[in-house]
Amino acid sequence: MNQNKTSFILGIDTSCDETSAAILKNSQEVLSNIVSSQIELHQPHGGVVPELASRSHLEKLPLIVGEALSRAKISFKDLTGIAVTSSPGLIGCLLVGLSYAKALAYSLKIPLTTVHHLKAHLFSPFLECEETYPFLGMVVSGGHTALYLVKSFDEINCIGQTVDDAAGEAFDKVAKLLGLGYPGGPIVDRMAGQGDENVYQFTRARVKKGPYYFSFSGLKTAVSLLLKDIRQKNKFSETVAQNLAASFQKEVVGSLVSKIKRALEEFPVKSLYISGGVAVNSALRSAIENLAEQKNTNYFIPSPLNCTDNGAMIAYVGARQLEQGKVASLDSNAYPSAPMW
């Protein structure tokens, strides 16, 4: 890619239940970031239905890309590169984005680069703040919960992750148990704000694999058993649901923050960055703020739009990859799971 020319990278993400496209100018300036959520489509089913999700991406992606271009006040011929998520995610969904991106790159004769969704989350804070290395980064989303020690754009060491459910998955499952709908995270967050977090105590899972590994499936089971008991005794009420939401959230946040604290004590990093959908959570945001203050650590959590799935974070990592000459061939494939490097 010509380094002196103004670059306009189109970033596309169709990995799960959000169709998103963004335009990034000169690797830094977000001109547009359009996210179309499929919440209404999946709500009646209480979770994402992969086949419905991919069909909806197919229908909406051309419109969303058109909207991203028009908000950025540029046209297809101005694009200098395309970045698209190729893993991890729902395979049918990924293939929609990848096939579209390949066809567009071929017809416009511009380079294509494929982006790892988790790397995009990990670097999404830099859509809004300066990169400082080394940093401790946590990606906490619906599909993943992992801690990374990052020395540079290409030196990323995963020091721990969940051994079962992701934190967002636990939020979604507990919301379902409480009959609150999908996606559960934002609803549990709101309900927890009305409840008393000290009413129910949960035992923290001990994960043998290492100090920075997480486990949330036992917590979900504990909530489920507790609820069963409460319902059998006919004691379920709005207040019970609020207290349970608050107590559950306290435990998830406590588990995440205790491991971040330990990692900050072990590794001499310059900054702490949290990203992914669960990073929107109000209790997690304030707990991280307190921890960073206590440890005198520079930290940043992106705004909600940049925490959840979006095309700008794909364009950000994609732009860097294109600068490095990492161009994907037109026969590249999508993968439901793949390592970050």
CB of 187 or CB of 280, closer to Zn ion: 280
Select from Zn ion, ligand KG4, none the partner in contact with residue 97, using the beta carbon and a kind-dependent cut-off of 5 to 8 Å: none
Helices (H), 140-234: 167-177, 184-192, 217-232
Select from ligand KG4, Zn ion, none the partner in contact with residue 212, using the beta carbon and a kind-dependent cut-off of 5 to 8 Å: none
For the record, the structure tokens of 236 come out as 């379920």
Please give the residue ranges that form the binding site for ligand KG4 (CB under 6 A): 16, 141-143, 168, 171-172, 183-186, 189, 276-278, 280-281, 308-309
Residue 154 DSSP SS3: coil
CB of 156 or CB of 192, closer to ligand KG4: 192
Q: For residue 298, report the phi and psi dihedrals to the nearest 5 degrees.
A: -70, 135
Angle at 82 between CA 79 and CA 84, to 5 degrees: 150
Residue 13 interacting with Zn ion (CB under 5 A): no
Select from ligand KG4, Zn ion, none the partner in contact with residue 278, using the beta carbon and a kind-dependent cut-off of 5 to 8 Å: ligand KG4
CB-CB neighbours of 83 under 10 Å: 31
CB of 272 or CB of 274, closer to ligand KG4: 274
| Number of residues that make up the chain | 341
Instruction: In whole angstroms, give the CA distance from residue 8 to residue 114.
Output: 16
Which one, of 142, 155, 82, 78, lies nearest residue 114 by Cα?
82
Beta bridge partner(s), residue 24: 9, 30
CB of 14 or CB of 141, closer to ligand KG4: 141
Residue 141 interacting with Zn ion (CB under 5 A): yes
Binding mask 250-289 for Zn ion (x = CB under 5 A): ----------------------------------------
CB of 93 or CB of 104, closer to ligand KG4: 93
Stretch that binds Zn ion, among 43-51, 85-93, 122-130, 133-141 (CB under 5 A): 133-141
For the record, the structure tokens of 204 come out as 């923290």
Instruction: In whole angstroms, give the CA distance from residue 326 to residue 334.
Output: 16
Which one, of 260, 294, 254, lies nearest residue 147 by Cα?
260
CB of 200 or CB of 300, closer to Zn ion: 300
For the record, the structure tokens of 312 come out as 């700008």
CB of 195 to ligand KG4, least distance (A): 14
* Tokens 């037109």 -> residue: 330
CB 35 within 8 A of CB 310: yes
CB of 172 or CB of 309, closer to Zn ion: 309
DSSP class of residue 331 equals T
Q: Which one of residues 18, 212, 309, 321 is an interface residue with Zn ion (CB under 5 A)?
A: 309
How many chain residues interact with Zn ion (CB under 5 A)? 2
CB of 18 to ligand KG4, least distance (A): 7
Instruction: In whole angstroms, give the CA distance from residue 187 to residue 294.
Output: 29
Select from ligand KG4, Zn ion, none the partner in contact with residue 183, using the beta carbon and a kind-dependent cut-off of 5 to 8 Å: ligand KG4
CB of 93 to Zn ion, least distance (A): 12
Select from Zn ion, ligand KG4, none the partner in contact with residue 111, using the beta carbon and a kind-dependent cut-off of 5 to 8 Å: none
For the record, the structure tokens of 41 come out as 């489509």
CB of 25 to Zn ion, least distance (A): 23
The residues binding Zn ion (CB under 5 A) are 141, 309
